[in-house]
Chain A
Amino acid sequence: MIKIEVDMAQCQHYGQCVFEAPNIFKLNDDDKLEYLATADDSERDNVESAVDVCPMQAIRIVE
């Protein structure tokens, strides 16, 4: 399992993470980010890509 944290004070809801890890992140009807705080290890590569593409650098994987 991996644990995911998003700093919601930083997040600007751009949705770049949604494209990289669609099973973990989504934008709701109000254009706000929603995400799963834990994920299977098989999602690690996708979540790492999401971390990389976040313009606000608001996502981190808690080791």
Chain B
Amino acid sequence: MPDPPADPAAPVVIVGAAMGGLRTAEALRKGGYAGPLTVIGEELHAPYNRPPLSKDVLAGVVTHESVAFPQRASTADVEWMLGARVVSVDLAARTATTGDGVVHSYAALVIATGLRPRRLDLPELTGRHTVRTLDDAMALRDELVPEARVVIIGSGFIGCEVAATARKLGCEVTVVSPSALPILRPLGSLLAAEILARQEAHGVAFRLGHTVTGLVGASRLEGVVLDDGGVLPADVLIEAIGSDCNSEWLAGTGIDCSDGVLADGAMRAVSTDGTVHDDVYVVGDIARFPNAMFDDAARRVEHWNIPTDTGKRAGAVLAAWLARDGSYPAAAAAPFAPMPAFWSNQFEVALQAYGLPGLADDIRLLEGSLSSEAIVGYYRGEHLVGVVGLGMKAALLPYRKVIAESAAAAS
């Protein structure tokens, strides 16, 4: 393993100034790293919490201050370079270059650039929106006025949450999706059918099994053309069709960027030839990593807790490497098995999940009743790999332990 550079002035450079970058910086400090730390991020806002963007931020007057993560004393001396974009990196020279041409030397690099919303190849009309950043949400908020005709493409979590929020604001909402049911892939048909029923009961219209093929309007959006030739009149279009990884800046480095950025269980970047980089780490939505709770397959997991869990892991391992005190091999070899967790609020539906329901080949109702409150179990073979609760929050908690114990046995 190459040693850390002798030059103590070279900082740890974290590329990406969202939750994953912040948690990595905090974990480096907690792990004893007291040297220079630089975070470079494209957004002008300091790290903030994204879940409110599809709900509170759209529904009310919410500022950056109200969603910003609190700054801890340990990271008060971190240099934040906001509004800056890293365009390339030279692993051998340990340098990263920003869009203004400045070359930044680093002692270690953390890849935390996350995702951007995928967009359809459609005309750039006023009224088209995505919901990923605070600025996205604030721009959309101004258009969600009562009786506005809103078309949402995509029936995943973001699409369904935004549909509920827009409906509550008095908009006429239609969700268009090629899927047979909303949130079908992560949840399975049992819960997906119930979510569809509850959304429809609140007046959200669904055009399932359809795609959008064109837009109507000269500069301002007037309508959305479906694959059957029908036109939905629309003032606002929201694209919620998934995300692409911000990994282009790593081109030519040899790091495996085939789906996100490949990492090992210590969150160290891995090249296509299998080389593990002691001085390059990957955290957050962009990381494709193995979770010892389930098996040794590397997966990207776009759940809210993942930037925190991977950031803490990467920060701890990297701090040990930088410490040169012999603690690094044990830190990197320690098992890493974070519990995936996600939540979704749509109207009165409070949905909460643990584990990886998407791995299941069998889905069973465990407690309650789908029409009111319920817990649904997701099994791979005989082993519980995930649970989803509709309400029943306290009853859901003990299943975390069951999943942690049984999921590995299912691999």
Chain B residues near A31: list those with CB within 8 A.
Answer: 391-394
Any A CB within 8 A of the CB of B305: yes
A57 adjacent to chain B (CB < 8 Å) = yes
How big is the A interface, by class? 10 to 19
| Cβ-based interface call for A46 (8 A) | no
- Whether the Cβ atoms of B70 and A60 lie closer than 8 Å is yes
The answer to whether B34 has its CB under 8 Å from any CB of chain A is: no
Please determine whether A27 and B304 come into contact, CB atoms closer than 8 angstroms. Answer: no
How far, in whole Å, are A9 and B146 apart by their CA atoms in the complex? 25
Within 8 A of A (CB), among B372-411: 391-394, 396-397, 400
A19 shortest CB reach to chain B, Å: 6
B338-382 vs A, Cβ < 8 Å mask (1 yes, 0 no): 000101010000101000000000000000000000000000000
Which one of B49, B70, B341, B397 lies within 8 Å of A18 (CB-CB)?
A: B397
A27-B394 CB under 8 A given contacts A19-B400, A52-B23, A57-B69:
yes
Min Cβ gap A8→B in Å is 15
* Complex contacts, A51 vs chain B, CB 8 Å: 70
Which listed residue (A18, A53, A60) contacts B308, Cβ 8 A? A53
A15 touches B397 (CB 8 A): yes
In the bound complex, CA of A19 to CA of B393 (Å):
12
Interface 1/0s, chain B 39-53, versus A by CB < 8 A? 000000000010110
A-B pair number, CB within 8 angstroms: 42
- Which residues from B are CB-within-8-Å of A53? 305, 308, 341
**Cα distance A61–B391 in the bound complex, in angstroms:** 28
Q: How large is the interface on B (under 10, 10 to 19, 20 to 34, 35 or more residues)?
A: 20 to 34
A-chain residues with CB within 8 Å of residue B394 when the two chains form the complex: 15, 27-29, 31
Q: Is the CB of B341 within 8 A of A16?
A: yes
Chain B interface mostly: mixed
Minimum Cβ distance to chain B for residue A28 (Å): 7
Within 8 A of B (CB), among A8-57: 12-16, 18-19, 27-29, 31, 51-53, 55-57
Q: Which residues of B contact A57 (CB under 8 A)?
A: 49, 67, 69-70
Smallest CB separation, A3 vs chain B (Å): 15
Q: Complex Cα distance A15/B398, Å? A: 11
CA–CA, A28 to B394, complex, Å? Answer: 7
CB of B397 within 8 A of CB of A27, answer yes
Contact A14 B305, CB 8 Å, known A19-B400, A57-B49, A57-B69? no
User: Does A55 lie within 8 Å of B392, measured CB to CB?
Assistant: no
Residue of B70, B304, B393 contacting most chain A CB atoms (<10 Å) = B393
A52 in contact with B49 (CB, 8 Å) = no
Q: Which residues in B have their C-beta under 8 angstroms from that of A13?
A: 393
- Decide: B304 and A55 in contact? CB cutoff 8 A: yes
Is the CB–CB distance between A52 and B345 below 8 Å? no
Report how far A56 CA is from B304 CA in the complex, Å.
11
Q: Bound complex: CA of A18 vs CA of B354, how far in Å?
A: 14
With both chains docked as a complex, state the minimum distance between the C-beta of A41 and any C-beta of chain B, in angstroms: 16
Residues of A within 8 A of B341 (CB): 16, 53
Do B308 and A12 touch (CB < 8 A)?
no
CB distance from A55 to the nearest CB of B (A): 5
CA distance A12 to B314 in the complex (A): 29
Q: How far apart sit A19 and B398, CA to CA, in the bound complex (Å)? A: 9
- CA separation between A27 and B352, bound complex, in Å? 15
Query: In the complex the two chains form, what is the Cα distance from A13 to B69 in whole Å?
Result: 19
Give the complex CA separation of A16 and B350 in angstroms. Answer: 14
CA distance A61 to B101 in the complex (A): 42
Chain A positions within 8 Å of B, measured between CB atoms, are 12-16, 18-19, 27-29, 31, 51-53, 55-57, 60
* Given A15-B394, A19-B397, A27-B393: 20 more A-B contacts, CB < 8 Å: A12-B343, A12-B345, A14-B343, A15-B396, A15-B397, A16-B341, A18-B397, A27-B394, A29-B394, A31-B391, A31-B394, A51-B70, A53-B305, A53-B341, A55-B49, A55-B51, A55-B304, A55-B343, A56-B52, A57-B70
- List 19 A–B pairs whose Cβ atoms lie within 8 Å, in order of A's numbering: A12-B343, A12-B345, A13-B393, A14-B352, A15-B397, A16-B341, A18-B397, A19-B397, A27-B397, A28-B394, A31-B391, A31-B392, A52-B23, A53-B305, A53-B308, A55-B304, A55-B343, A56-B51, A56-B52
Q: Which 7 A-B pairs have the closest CB atoms?
A: A27-B394, A31-B393, A57-B49, A31-B394, A15-B393, A15-B397, A52-B308
